[in-house]
Amino acid sequence: MTSSTGTTRRTVLRRATAAAGALGVGLAGVPTAASAGQRERIRVAVLLYDGFTALDAVGPYEALCRVPGVRVVTVGRKAGPVRTDTGQLALGAERAMTDVPHADVLLIPGGGNRGTIATMNDPSVLAWVRRIHQHSTWTTSVYTGALVLGSAGLLRGVPATTYWASRPYLAETFGAVVTPGRFVESGKIITAAGVSAGIDLGLHLAARLSDDEVGRAMQLAIEYDPEPPFDTGSPEKADEATRQLALKLVADAAAP
Amino acid sequence: MTSSTGTTRRTVLRRATAAAGALGVGLAGVPTAASAGQRERIRVAVLLYDGFTALDAVGPYEALCRVPGVRVVTVGRKAGPVRTDTGQLALGAERAMTDVPHADVLLIPGGGNRGTIATMNDPSVLAWVRRIHQHSTWTTSVYTGALVLGSAGLLRGVPATTYWASRPYLAETFGAVVTPGRFVESGKIITAAGVSAGIDLGLHLAARLSDDEVGRAMQLAIEYDPEPPFDTGSPEKADEATRQLALKLVADAAAP
């Protein structure tokens, strides 16, 4: 822990946070040499498409955006607002696909039927996904985002997961080897299960892009000590009526 | 379960999902009589302000937006894109505060120091929060959003929680009775802990606004079966070095 200047890392951290002010949430607005020097070394590109699921994108964003040296960039067919699957929310795509020729991490969120299918069948998106994947360090997905990776031809014979209700489709249509797990790491491809699984994936990536110390700190920063009110978070734990109702609620809330 | 027409609820659900198509994610794009009839009966207003934390808003949104009859509305000082605390993402505020005189559920996300303090000191926001609270069914917060509720005068003597590092400030400045818990329900006020705690709060609200059956189904719909990669999600579980690093990462990533 001791550097050549005799200052330990822990001392520096204590010194920084001692000035953090009454709210205890840090030195907002005071850029540090460390963060400035590390800016945009690692680019995480999150694809946003009409009908994507917000939490699929925002869970990993929140786990990754404070990792030293990481910059999360939202990418759309064009820059500007992109509507989610329910139509009740929009996130901004900062860049157009054509302006993002490279990323260290590619993340494809899932979406409702309409948005996922349209994206699976969009040649320009698939070409971009393949191009980014060629030089990425990690190529990742959440929820039905795995179907987009599959449609781009990246999952044939690859152990992978997706939304619980889409597992058979992923295997039958794209030849993925559906594998149990909150997320499945196969070489540089990591596919996560549905929606909230992107948080687990994001913290895993935070540690991989930095170290376990940063992973642990980011988990505390987002206070990820979950206490789900029910025990129905996976299809294996839920009964048939709950599974059917979940499918119906998702279908009924889908924006036209 | 049997209605006067002899059709059970379960039969209807099975029938609906039988037509849900190969992806298994539902009948996207086919509005149902049920969802159309229930539209906007329950309005959830999520305040977005410059410097808010994305997951604080999106976690509850994702848990609530598919609950029958619920419509989530993002509300800003004015309508349009609102930047998050890191400046790396923007969410769209659908409505201006002045256009939203009433909501059944009010949700105040937290943010970095800069955004939280500015909001705590904005008389127009505080007046709006008090006005909505007067007739709300639930008034809720995530992370440092509790400080905004506190600044609006709503937490004096009220059991409440907030971001772990802001607990002393919440008690000392606004007279809240800081209480352990993933979220704390005190009459119609529910305050959640940091960032990801909004998902637990959201699923709890989903059940309260509908029933436990819907809560359980929404937990499955977002596949909330968390497997955090570390065991550092609360300050009690993390060591001092992890706590200090978490504060530093949040501070360093704050947008000016």
Q: Does A21 touch chain B (CB under 8 A)?
A: yes
Question: Shortest Cα distance from B4 to chain A (angstroms)?
Answer: 21
Q: Who contacts A37 (Cβ-Cβ below 8 Å, separation ≥6)?
A: none
| A171-187: average pLDDT | 97
Q: Does A162 touch chain B (CB under 8 A)?
A: no
Banded model confidence at residue B40, pLDDT cuts 50, 70, 90 = low
Tell whether the model's pLDDT for residue A36 goes beyond 90: no
Least confidently predicted of B30-34, B69-73, B133-137, B223-227: B30-34
Banded model confidence at residue A256, pLDDT cuts 50, 70, 90 = confident
- Burial of A64: CB neighbours in 10 Å, binned 0-12, 13-18, 19+: buried
SS3 B73: strand
Of B58, B173, B200, the CB nearest to A54: B58
Domains and their CATH numbers in chain A: 32-224+236-253 (3.40.50.880)
ipTM of the shown complex = 0.86
* Helix residue ranges per DSSP H, A30-122: 33-37, 54-64, 113-120
pLDDT at B10: 34
Separation CA B246–CA A26 (nearest Å): 9
Q: Does A93 touch chain B (CB under 8 A)?
A: no
**What's the mean pLDDT when you consider all of chain B?**
88
Q: Could you write out the three-class secondary structure of B199-211?
A: HHHHHHHHHHHCC
Hey, what long-range contacts does B135-139 have (CB within 8 A, 24 or more apart)?
A: B135/B102, B136/B103, B136/B104, B136/B105, B136/B106, B136/B188, B137/B104, B137/B105, B137/B188, B138/B104, B138/B105, B138/B106, B138/B188, B138/B189, B138/B190, B138/B205, B138/B208, B139/B105, B139/B106, B139/B188, B139/B189, B139/B190
